[in-house]
Amino acid sequence: MESVLSKYENQITIFTEYLEEYPNTDELVWILGKQHLLKTEKSKLLSDISARLWFTYRRKFSPIGGTGPSSDAGWGCMLRCGQMMLAQALICRHLGRDWSWEKQKEQPKEYQRILQCFLDRKDCCYSIHQMAQMGVGEGKSIGEWFGPNTVAQVLKKLALFDEWNSLAVYVSMDNTVVIEDIKKMCRVLPLSADTPGDRPPDSLTASNESDELIFLDPHTTQTFVDTEENGTVNDQTFHCLQSPQRMNILNLDPSVALGFFCKEEKDFDNWCSLVQKEILKENLRMFELVQKHPSHWPPFIPPAKPEVTTTGAEFIDSNEQLEELDLEEDFEILSV
C-alpha cells in the first residue's frame, strides 16, 4: 500500500520537472472567467490560482462507511475535482470572485466554514465520505472511480438535500468536437467554476491564447487534516503554492463537465443568452438549451437519500452550522 501511495504522491513532482516558465508575452489568460495580462500581471495571475481551494488525494482519514478505505489515492480524483468545483461556487457566493487568499493571513469566518464542509470526515456535508456513499445510488461502489457525469449527479443530489436556491450549472460532454467550444466557453462565459475531465490532469482552471490550460491536479496524496482546537483548519495544504502546471488543450480528454455559477436568476438568463449567441450557433452542438422539459424525456423524480450508516446528516441538519453559512439557501444544481 505504501508503494502505491508513494506512486501517486510523486506524480505531480515528475510532471512539474518538465514544466517551462510562463513566457513573457502579451497574451491574455482567463482564470475562471477573470482576465489577466500575462506580461504585466503575472503575480496577480499566480495569486489568483493559489487562492483556489485545492483538493487532492488524502490518506489516514476515518474509513468510509466504517470499514471502507481510509485513503482515496487512485480512485478519488474526480470526486476531488467535484469538490473543487463546488468549493469555488461557494467562494463566489459568500466571498465574491475577487476575494483573494494569502498564506498565514487570517481569513473570513465564511472561508473557514466553507473549507470545513469539505474535510475528510463523515459528518462534513461535502466530504469524500458523503460523495462516495452518494455514488452508490449511481451504481458506483465505494472505492470505484467516478466519471465527470457521475460526479455532477452526486453534487446535484447533495444540493437537493441542502435545499439550495442559487444555481450551479454543470455541462457534461463526451465528443471530440467539443474542444473548440470549451475554448470559447473558457473565454466568453464569465461565470465558470471549474472543469474536471476524464484524463489527468482533472481540474482545469484557465485558458490562454496559445490554446493551453492551467490546471490544479488532484493526483498527489496528502495526509488528512482535521479541525484544530480553536475551531479553525490549517489550510496550507488546501492551496497549491507551487508553480501551476500547464497542458495543451488538445491533450484534454473530451469527456468533461464544465461548471458555471449563477448567483441570481439574471446571471442564469445572461448565461443562456451568451451560450445561445456564442456556443450554440454552430451546426455541431455539444448540448442544447430548452424552455421546457422535453416530452420524450422521462419525468424528473427527486432522488431518495441512500440509507447508509454514516451520512453526515447530523451536520446537514444542524441549524446552527447551516445558518452561519446559509447553505440551505445556496444553490440548485442542474446537469445538462
Write down the residue that cell numbers 443568452 correspond to. Answer: 273
CB atoms within 10 A of CB 41: 15
Does residue 77 carry a catalytic annotation? Answer: yes
Q: What interhelical angle do 77-94 and 109-116 show, nearest 10? A: 160
Bridge-based pairing state of the strands 166-174 and 245-248: unpaired
The answer to whether 96 and 61 have CB atoms below 8 angstroms apart is: no
Does residue 94 carry a catalytic annotation? Answer: no
Q: Of how many residues is the chain composed?
A: 336
Does residue 198 carry a catalytic annotation? Answer: no
The catalytically annotated residue of 219, 240, 262, 330 is 219
The catalytically annotated residue of 72, 77, 117, 123 is 77
Phi (first) and psi of residue 68, to 5 degrees: -85, -165
Its sign, for the CA torsion 315, 305, 302, 195, is positive
The catalytically annotated residue of 72, 120, 202, 217 is 217
CA 214 – CA 38 distance, rounded (Å): 13
Which residues are identified as catalytic? 77, 217, 219
